[in-house]
């Protein structure tokens, strides 16, 4: 099947509804009617590569794949992974100025010197590595005596591979201040191409894992903070409410939840204390 023919493959209403139901049941992503063309466009490449003549044929192939790999590819194709280093900078300012000083003072008085965080929906790694940079600098640099770890999870296996690799083009790392860039990243040059690899000090703080937020969480609490930003926008309100309750239960007393700039807990019943827009604290 060539690409010109592929453009004519129609995604029927029943086929779209079947795909929407499968994705919703698997990971909670709500593909409403306005997403139909996006679904068609993003899955068209899979049809072309597999030489499928219809979406029904492709769906049948996905469901009959005993390895589950093709279903994972389907979910990956429909996931949006827009991110950058220190995205929504005021979250990191809050961490540096308020959250971490408070945590450090409390833990120094009662022990142990242990900090745990979670980047839920870590995408290609920029968010967890930004958090790790903030942690390592706030806790005393590479020689600090703190036991700090950050769990970074995503439902996309493809994007997790990129995150684990931790290699970024020059323009991607521009938001990182030069002193931190020189201290914690390794510059690799091949001819005119310049790339930066995350160094061992940051890697030692971050643990990358596949995790579906709609399934069981092999995550042990209590956790001091959770970043779940620009993930819940893909979920309907009942799914968001369930997720918020689970985050609340996992956080330690005084723990903080960071959400995305377009995400609000308005309209969701919860027990969090409002701190400022997109920042919520467990009392």
Report pLDDT for 183: 95
Q: Which of 42, 46, 90, 162 is flagged as catalytic?
A: 42
Report pLDDT for 184: 96
Report pLDDT for 264: 82
Task: For residues 273 and 261, give the distance between their C-alpha atoms in angstroms, rounded to a whole number.
Answer: 17
Half-sphere exposure of 122 (CA within 13 A, CB side): 33
Report pLDDT for 52: 87
Report pLDDT for 2: 44
Domains of the chain: 3-78 (1.10.155.10), 89-281 (3.40.50.150)
42 is catalytic: yes
CA angle 123, 126, 127 (to 5 degrees): 80
- 85 DSSP 8-state letter: T
Q: Which of 116, 154, 224, 229 is flagged as catalytic?
A: 154
Q: Report how many helices (DSSP H) and strands (DSSP E) the chain contains, helices first.
A: 12, 10
154 is catalytic: yes
Report pLDDT for 177: 94
C-beta atoms surrounding 70 within 10 Å: 16
Report pLDDT for 6: 46
- Strand 206-210 with 251-259, pairing: unpaired
- Digits of tens for pLDDT over the chain (283 positions)? 444 444 567 888 888 888 888 888 777 777 878 788 888 888 888 888 888 888 889 888 888 887 777 887 887 777 766 688 999 999 999 999 999 999 999 999 988 899 999 999 999 999 999 999 999 999 986 656 899 999 999 988 888 999 999 999 999 999 999 999 999 999 988 777 889 999 999 999 999 999 989 889 988 889 999 999 988 877 888 889 999 999 999 999 999 999 988 788 888 899 999 999 999 999 9
Torsion sign (Cα): 30, 31, 34, 35 = positive
């Amino acid at each position: 099947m060539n690409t010109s023919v592929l453009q004519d493959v129609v995604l029927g209403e029943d086929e779209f509804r079947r795909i929407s139901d499968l994705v919703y049941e698997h990971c909670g992503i709500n593909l409403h009617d306005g997403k139909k063309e996006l679904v068609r466009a993003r899955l068209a490449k899979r049809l072309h590569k597999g030489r499928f003549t219809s979406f029904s044929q492709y769906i049948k192939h996905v469901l009959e794949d005993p390895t589950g790999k093709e279903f994972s590819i389907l979910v990956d194709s429909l996931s949006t992974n827009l991110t950058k280093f220190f995205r929504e900078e005021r979250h990191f300012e809050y961490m540096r100025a308020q959250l971490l000083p408070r945590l450090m003072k409390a833990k120094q008085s009662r022990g142990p010197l242990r900090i745990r965080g979670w980047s839920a929906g870590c995408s290609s790694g920029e968010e967890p590595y930004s958090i790790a940079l903030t942690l390592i600098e706030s806790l005393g640099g590479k020689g600090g005596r703190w036991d700090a770890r950050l769990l970074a999870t995503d439902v996309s296996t493809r994007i997790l591979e990129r995150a684990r690799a931790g290699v970024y083009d020059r323009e991607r790392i521009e938001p990182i201040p030069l002193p931190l860039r020189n201290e914690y990243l390794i510059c690799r040059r091949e001819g005119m191409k310049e790339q930066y690899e995350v160094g061992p000090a940051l890697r030692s703080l971050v643990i990358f894992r596949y995790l579906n937020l709609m399934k069981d969480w092999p995550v042990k609490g209590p956790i001091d903070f959770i970043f779940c930003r620009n993930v819940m926008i893909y979920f309907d309100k009942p799914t968001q409410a369930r997720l918020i309750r689970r985050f609340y239960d996992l956080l330690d007393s005084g723990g903080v939840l960071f959400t995305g700039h377009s995400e609000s807990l308005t309209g969701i019943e919860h027990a969090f204390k409002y701190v400022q827009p997109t920042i919520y604290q467990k009392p």
